[in-house]
Structure 1
Amino acid sequence: MSELVILIVFCAILGSVVGFLAGLLGIGGGLVIVPVLSSILLHFEVLPSSQIVVAAIATSLASILFTSTSSALAHHKNGNVPWDLAPWVMTGVALGALISGFLASLLPEQVVRIVFAVSVVLIAFKMFFSGKSDTSTERQLPNNIVLTVLTTITGGLSAMIGIGGGALLVPLLTFFSVNMKKAIGCASACGIVIALFGSVGYISSGLSHFAFSEGFLGFVYLPALLGIVCTSWFTAPLGAKATQHLPVPTLKKCFAGLLLVMAANMVMN
């Protein structure tokens, strides 16, 4: 069995786990894909170590384009996408993701690692203490211009660390008293936009670094993308169904601990 086939198999296993976790816990697959795929690419010496994290983030975003589409369609069918709010949020995340896709490739690799690790630590703490927040305060949504600015920042950070945006958008929208189901539905739809525009940025900025004949589309590594998508598309619905039978709050706390370990590993490697 060739090394390329083995790499695709590893990525397929990664995709199956990521898809299940995304459906079960409602988190962006990039939180798991980026550190694990970085290790896989490093092991198989696919590209120089200085560009591994950027390639992992770009590939993660490209895979989220597929899984977010599946999730958003399901939420739309259930009436959980607030289309009166979504266009303004989508505009913001699109701008942020596109800008971030270009900027991340220009930053030193260690800076990208640190940004990812810090963001993951904050998300982990949010997941761990999510059940203890005060929901009694009603807050009005800001005007559309302010909302677009806030979501531009959110989309930029999401694209920079290779996640779909739900981990950042849902807390932002629920802070302004948006119904949780509506917030998740909006984040799912926006995940498509973040992944699309972020991928465009990473592809465009990576065209001068790698050739299609090497398996790359810009910074996106296509064999890894194939492996991840071919399984995550099918396991995400299984994870969503499992929420009816598994103790999700407890699992979120365990997963938060795992995120802290992965964040530390990203910085130390």
Structure 2
Amino acid sequence: MEKELKINSYDVRSDASIKEKLWVVIPVVLLVGLLGTLVYNHYAEFTWNGFVGGFNQEFLIFFLIGIFAQLVDGTLGMGYGATSTSFLLAYGVPPVMSSTAVHVSEMFTTGASALSHHRFGNINKKLVKHLLIPGVLGSITGAYLLSDVINGDIIKPFIAVYMIVLAVIIIRKALAKTIVKKKTKKLGVLATFGGFMDAVGGGGWGPIVTSTLLGRGRNPRYTIGSVNAAEFAISFASGITFMLFGGIHGWQVIIGLILGGVIAAPIGAYLVNKIKRKPMMVAVGILIILLSLKTLSKLL
């Protein structure tokens, strides 16, 4: 009897260990597969001179945007898309290219972020599972519409306004008083809407989903870690959709964002419990508003 109990206990631990490893193995396999596919399909577009020439001042700007956006997202659980898209639009990058670059880069940065949050024990797996499928469906729908249906030039001012709305949400959440914990209902609807708006607007998953969950009094550490982990799947789905329907353009932007984001991801995951979130949320919100107003001023 005692032997059977030991064997059963070992089997349970073994199953748990396998499931735990899958949280690391799946993102790594997907990212390696994606990288291999991108290299295989697009290697002809690159030349050594073009590659070397791409590492210029513009690349440095995109690289720094990637670092800053990922630090914001990793520590606040929101803001990568809003921050990077606002910077890119203000810099003159077209909406479709901007959204594609953000989502393709997010495939890698959110993967790195998810692994980092997993490493630091910041993930509530049950919450991730609730957000995953609805968020993916919403993001695929949004990415398809932006790639194949909606004219990017027409919606550029609307995206800028949307970014201002997201910034206001971020600031409002930062200034909110102590929140009483409430049960979060309709997680699927929230995730679908967040995924859709994230794909169409180039950002919004964090400000919509994270801010709502935090507004309901959920634990910041596990909410941020879980929403970031789910965002990997959302970004992967929308990024693949952008590739299929719109192709990939702006490699300099994409690579800059990826490198900056991957470098910053573990730092953000580490800092999630170390920094004062409210002042940073207000600062990020104000920055996004200023960048979006700059974009609007160019269009008016």
Do the two structures share a fold, i.e. TM-score over 0.5? yes
1:186 equivalent in alignment to 2:226: yes
Give the number of aligned pairs: 246
Give the gaps of 5 or more residues in structure 2: 1-48
Q: Which residue of 2 aligns with 1:215?
A: none
Q: CA RMSD in A?
A: 2.7
Matches within 5 A, 1:1-269: 4-6=54-56, 7-38=58-89, 40=91, 42=93, 52-105=94-147, 106-142=149-185, 146-163=186-203, 165-206=205-246, 218-239=247-268, 248-269=277-298
C-alpha displacement of 1:39: 5.0
**Sequence identity of aligned pairs in percent?**
20
Deviations 1:88-143 (A, max 9, x none): 2111110000000010132132443234223322222222232442545442232x
C-alpha displacement of 1:61: 0.9
Give the whole-Å Cα distance in 1 for the aligned partners of 2:207 and 2:109. Answer: 15
Deviations 1:209-250 (A, max 9, x none): xxxxxxxxx144223211221222113333555667765432
Whether contact under 8 Å (2:117, 2:269) holds in the other structure is: no
Matched to 1:264, the amino acid is: L
Give the whole-Å Cα distance in 1 for the aligned partners of 2:228 and 2:210. Answer: 9
Question: Please, which moves more after superposition, 63-72 or 103-112?
Answer: 103-112
Distance 1:122 1:162, change over 3 A: same
Give the whole-Å Cα distance in 2 for the aligned partners of 1:184 and 1:128. Answer: 17
Give the whole-Å Cα distance in 2 for the aligned partners of 1:22 and 1:184. Answer: 9
Whether contact under 8 Å (1:54, 1:219) holds in the other structure is: no
Give the whole-Å Cα distance in 2 for the aligned partners of 1:32 and 1:227. Answer: 15
C-alpha displacement of 1:192: 0.5
C-alpha displacement of 1:169: 1.1
* Structure number with larger C-alpha Rg: 2
The TM-score with structure 2 as length reference comes to 0.72
Give the whole-Å Cα distance in 1 for the aligned partners of 2:235 and 2:161. Answer: 21
Matched to 1:168, the amino acid is: I
Matched to 1:256, the amino acid is: G
Whether contact under 8 Å (1:164, 1:195) holds in the other structure is: no
The TM-score with structure 1 as length reference comes to 0.79
Give the gaps of 5 or more residues in structure 1: 43-51, 207-217
3-state SS in 1 of match to 2:150: coil
Distance 1:220 1:199, change over 3 A: farther
C-alpha displacement of 1:41: 5.7
Whether contact under 8 Å (1:165, 1:190) holds in the other structure is: no
Give the whole-Å Cα distance in 2 for the aligned partners of 1:9 and 1:136. Answer: 40
Distance 1:147 1:25, change over 3 A: closer
Give the whole-Å Cα distance in 2 for the aligned partners of 1:132 and 1:256. Answer: 11
Whether contact under 8 Å (1:128, 1:252) holds in the other structure is: yes
Matched to 2:191, the amino acid is: T
Give the whole-Å Cα distance in 2 for the aligned partners of 1:161 and 1:266. Answer: 14
Whether contact under 8 Å (1:21, 1:29) holds in the other structure is: yes
Whether contact under 8 Å (2:221, 2:272) holds in the other structure is: no
Whether contact under 8 Å (2:67, 2:264) holds in the other structure is: yes
Higher normalized helix content (fraction of residues): 2
Matched to 1:19, the amino acid is: Q
